[in-house]
Amino acid sequence: MNRVDRLFGIVTLLQSRKHVPAERISEKFEISIRTVYRDIKAIGEAGIPVSFEVNKGYFIVPGYFTPPVSFTLEEANALLLSQSLIGGFGDRSVQSTFDSALTKIRAVLKQVDKEKLALLDQSIKLQLPQQLNSEFEYLSKVQQAITEQHQLKISYASLKEETLERTVEPIGLVFYAFSWHIIAYCHLRKDYRDFKIKRIQTLHKTNLPFEISSHIPLSEYKLPVNY
DNA sequence: TGAAGCGTGGCGTATCGCTT
DNA sequence: AAGCGATACGCCACGCTTCA
């Protein structure tokens, strides 16, 4: 990696996090701490306002606007592959959002790279069994509920084919056994439950915040499979 | 081919803020 | 006040590239 690419990389890293210590930058770009200081100084001299807080690290002064990021062809290729995977494993809500993001990425590519990407687009195919078809569009709403910590109201078909109404606090999304599952705290059962998304008939976001202030991390929820 | 320039790492030292 | 960790920087040496 040449120095200019590394300087842009450091700016991108600083934009992606609240604070970044010098040691983290040196590890990420495999350079010495001494070079990190020189690079930070160079970024500052280029007009990008970098500041730091003791024991936290460097940060870009809030409010500073940087131009849109650009992508290399390799990065765009990797994202194109992700699009195929999301097409197979995501639902309609996530697919449309990802398509929108990839359109923006295509827009900032050089013309020659756009043509290469278009060629690659026609050369990738994901063949999945019929049971994986995702005819729902709940994933995006569930993601929002998790990040905003808002309750969800769902109607759910039980194994006995009864329709159950539940108010839940989602803590995570898990894909296993060829299906997406919401792991959530159920207000009725007063415990964490696993809701298979294919069995959800309706799903509504509420504006009600979580009642439980500190949920278990998703990693602590025991799934019925172990692979 | 050798000089010059550049980027980088290592070492030593200074400064600052926090903890004991 | 002393010790410590993080940051900052000067100095020097080394390797690589460029150019005459």
CATH of the domain at A44: 1.10.10.10
> How many distinct structural domains can be found in chain A?
2
Q: Which residues touch strand B (CB under 7 A)?
A: A 3, 6, 30-32, 34-35, 38-39, 54-55
pLDDT computed for residue A127 by the predictor: 81
Residue A116 lies in a domain: no
Spacing of A44 CA from B3 C1' in Å = 32
Give chain A's length: 227
Report whether A58 contacts A42 (CB < 8 A): no
pTM (global) more than 0.85: no
- Distance, in Å, from the CA atom of A195 to the CA atom of A176, rounded to the nearest integer, reads 12
pLDDT computed for residue A62 by the predictor: 67
Name the residue with the least CA to C1' distance from nucleotide B7.
A3
pLDDT computed for residue A68 by the predictor: 53
Identify the CATH number of the domain in which residue A160 sits.
2.30.30
Residue range of the domain that includes A27:
3-60
Residue A23 lies in a domain: yes
Spacing of A53 CA from B17 C1' in Å = 10
Within chain A, which residues score under 50 in pLDDT?
Answer: none
Spacing of A159 CA from B1 C1' in Å = 83
The angle subtended at Cα A127 by Cα A124 and Cα A131, nearest 5°, is 145
Residue A7 lies in a domain: yes
